Structure 1
Amino acid sequence: MQRRDLLRLSLGASVFLGSVSLVGCSAQSPADGYRVLRDDDLPVLKALIPVVLAGTSATAAVVLRSLDHTLAALSPEMLKLTRQLFDVLSLPLTRGPLTGVWGAWEQASADQVTAFLQRWQDSSLNLLRMGHASLLQLLLMAWYECPQAWAACGYPGPPNI
């Protein structure tokens, strides 16, 4: 490893670890109308939903309600980890360097969001690859839990008992 690479790695690790200590500083109270999702989580998720669920009839409102319902059923420790992931994505200090989205999520284009997802999917850092997988699983699970998604994939719904 060259000196320049070591300095970059050190700087990146310092920024990341410093921001992780700030993660607990974001508001923990739910946004209006939600049980778990917070105001800071919504812009990130609203930017991700149309990209991750492109080609479906998913709407942000439906997916967010379903995701909120799912997150409310998580264990406290899993919810804490999920909130930390959302915090890393929403804090300006970590959002730019880790995602490549330097401005607010509300102004991020679909191409920027796609590039961010690709960046995390192909990352040499296992933590970012796990974050990518978690985001996709959460959003896909939230959408395919909804009855609106069932017809498009040929699922007739649960049997009547």
Structure 2
Amino acid sequence: MRRRTWLKVGLGSAIAFAVAGGMVATVRPGLEGGRLSRGAREVLRAVSLGVLDGSLPPASDRRDAELLAQIDRLEQYIGGLPPAVRAELSQLLAILASPAGRVTFAGLDAPWGEASVEQVQASLESMRHSRLLLRRQAYQALRDLTAGSYFSQPIAWGVMGYPGPTDL
């Protein structure tokens, strides 16, 4: 294929993703009334497991409680973002929560709630190293939101060996 053909395919794909994302987001948005939809919570739970693997407590009731707290922190953080950013994030979460978006955009065959940590991590890595800028940006947004909201909490500082701020 020639370069011009690749550019046309890339542009066509980007337009198709944008149209499909807009349609999905209007039908079932990722944020409903400023709160995460059920699908968005499932996506962010799986992404949190993938990004924070090794930082969370081992599988137990404590881990489940920590994940619920993580999703609540994410929801609170997202609520404080500017409206335009929340709208874009709502579209991204809506796309990822839909089966078609999960498979085509994230490259994840299993539903988010059933996917293993390894499957989610492989999906995130494929987004991270994608040729499509949109997929790389989605990866960065998901990773930054997840890691930032988790590691900003004093409960996570011990995992990193950070004793906390010093008293002046």
TM superposition score normalised by structure 2:
0.79
Q: CA deviation at 1:80?
A: 0.9
- Determine the structure 2 residue equivalent to 1:85: 92
Q: Aligned equivalents of 1:79 and 1:10: distance in 2?
A: 25
Partner of 1:16: 17
User: 1:42: Cα distance to partner?
Assistant: 1.0
Between stretches 43-52 and 54-63, larger displacement belongs to 54-63
| Residue 25 of structure 1: aligned partner | 27
1:28-62 Cα deviation digits (max 9, x unpaired): 425xxxx5222120111111111100111363112
- The count of residues paired between Structure 1 and Structure 2 equals 157
What is the distance in 2 between the residues matched to 1:77 and 1:13?
20
Q: Distance in 2 between matches of 1:95 and 1:149?
A: 29
Instruction: Report the counterpart of residue 118 of structure 2 in structure 1.
Output: 111
Contact 2:21 2:95 in 1 (8 A): yes
CA contact (8 A) 2:22 2:91 kept: no
What CA deviation, in whole Å up to 9, does each residue of 1:8-36 have, x standing for no partner? 75874564233122122214425xxxx52
The alignment's C-alpha RMSD in Å is 2.7
Partner deviation per Cα, 1:94-114 (whole Å, 9 max, x = no partner): 211122223321111222211
Change (3 A) 1:56 1:12: same
Give the conservation status (yes or no) of the 8 Å contact 2:21–2:92: no
Return closer, same or farther for 1:14/1:93 CA change in 2, 3 Å cut-off: farther
Specify the code of the residue in structure 1 equivalent to 2:26. Answer: G
What is the 5 A alignment of 1:1-161? 1=1, 12-13=13-14, 15-22=16-23, 23-27=25-29, 28-29=31-32, 36-57=35-56, 59-158=66-165
Identity of aligned residues (%): 26
Q: Give CA-to-partner distance per residue, 1:110-139, whole Å, 9 cap, x none.
A: 222111111111101111111111110000
| Alpha-carbon displacement from aligned partner over 1:45-91 (angstroms, at most 9, x marks no partner) | 11111110011136311211211111111111111111111112112
Deviation at 1:5, TM superposition (A): 6.8
TM-score (norm 1): 0.82
Gaps in structure 2 of 5+ consecutive residues: 58-65
